[in-house]
Amino acid sequence: MPLPKAELHLHIEGTLEPELAFELAARNGVALPYAGTDELREAYRFEDLQSFLNLYYELMAVLRTERDFEDLANAYLARAAAQGVRHAEIFFDPQAHLARGVEMGTVVEGLWRALGDSEAAHGVSTRLIMCFLRDESAASAMRTLEAARPYLDRITGVGLDSAEVGHPPVKFREVYEAAAALGLRRVAHAGEEGPPEYITEALDLLGVERIDHGLRCMEDPRLVERLVRERIPLTLCPLSNVRLRTVDVLAAHPLPAMLDAGLLCTVNSDDPAYFGGYAGDNFDAVAAALKLDEERLRELARNSFVASFLEDDEELRARYLAEVDSYTF
Ligand code: HPA
Ligand SMILES: [Zn+2]
């Protein structure tokens, strides 16, 4: 049995495996500009975040119906469960679908068909986090929040993703204020490719409770001190960092230094179909490359549940933490 863990940084569109992409393309009569799954996999060589995002948005063309989103989410949940994921807080990118004429209701209800009975079907509890695309306008984000209003019983929080540099958190201050007023939890990608100042801005101006990635905090010791003091969780994605070249090789990943500094780090997969592994694969890869011992891995698993948005079900969180504490490697 794998180590029980929560996954807190996972873009559902980033779980689209080449095989499913071609299956959905055929089902929906969508032409993909690749001869087959091998040729598509060949395209998975990224220089940076933007080169990945280009392919990520291109492949979304195959997602059209509720059933597509349901199949996508079920495929992820099955894989995640097999790797010890007991709880998943799942990002989705509605603007990327709305722009293609796929409605908010299709996306949310489709995902919910899988998420709604995931505890029974996969043994994985779930939450849904709606992300705004930071390279789109604040007005577009506000319209997206408005479009989500009929579905807020299914949505736990909001996030901020896509191309980071040049799109500082301050751009979305009013949107996040509106989200908070609706009772939504708040997170944001910051300090993946963008500077440490974006992390500070996300905390101070957007009121986020977790930072997605946050790797570049290590360039600013005072920011590290603050993140430690305020117990702000960071959702790290080690295999993503290597594939998008924010870290040269896994053996040079700052995770051990970050844990030593007292940061509340978690390990996640980001876009597992593109970056070479799901949550358990990320745990295994850092354990091997960074020589993490069992207690370090247990600490990472504990952190994932501590950092999760399970305030609405503390009993469940306590049960998961007890599973981690009694786990034998
Ligand atoms: O890793 C990411 N960073 C920013 N935006 C994203 N959208 C999907 N994955 C990512
Ligand atoms: Zn991400």
> 272 is written with which tokens?
């597992």
> Which domain covers residue 208, as residue numbers?
5-317
CB 158 within 8 A of CB 184: yes
ipTM score here?
A: 0.96
pTM: 0.98
> Within a domain: residue 48?
yes
* pLDDT band at residue 228 using 50, 70 and 90 as cut-offs: very high
Annotation says 295 is catalytic: no
CATH number assigned to the domain comprising residue 111 = 3.20.20.140
Closest ligand (CA of 160): 1
Residue in 192, 219, 294, 311 annotated catalytic: 192
Q: In sequence order, what are the residues at sequence separation of 6 or more whose Cβ sits closer than 8 angstroms to the Cβ of residue 88?
A: 6, 7, 10, 76, 77, 80, 118, 124, 125, 126, 127
> Within a domain: residue 329?
no
> Within a domain: residue 68?
yes
Q: In sequence order, what are the residues at sequence separation of 6 or more whose Cβ sits closer than 8 angstroms to the Cβ of residue 54?
A: none
DSSP 8-state secondary structure symbol assigned to residue 262:
T
Quick one: which of 124, 84, 111, 46 has its CA closest to 269? 84
> Within a domain: residue 227?
yes
Q: What are the tens digits of pLDDT across the range 123-164?
A: 999 999 999 999 999 999 999 999 999 999 999 999 999 999
Over range 184-194, report the average pLDDT.
Answer: 98
Q: How many helices (H) and strands (E) does the chain have?
A: 17, 8
Going from the Cα of 161 to the center of ligand 1, the distance in angstroms, rounded, reads: 5
What are the φ/ψ torsions at residue 221 (nearest 5 degrees)? -55, -30
**CA gap 189, 300 in Å, rounded:** 20
* pLDDT band at residue 250 using 50, 70 and 90 as cut-offs: very high
> Within a domain: residue 243?
yes
> Within a domain: residue 324?
no
Task: Provide the domain count of the chain.
Answer: 1
> Within a domain: residue 327?
no
**CA gap 130, 127 in Å, rounded:** 10
Q: Ligand 1: residues whose CB is within 6 Å?
A: 11, 14, 49, 56, 161-162, 189, 192, 240, 270-271
**pLDDT for position 159:** 99
Substitution site in 59, 91, 167, 192 for ligand 1 pocket (most atoms within 8 Å of beta carbon)? 192
Locate the ligand 1 atom nearest the alpha carbon of residue 13 and give its number: 8
> Within a domain: residue 323?
no
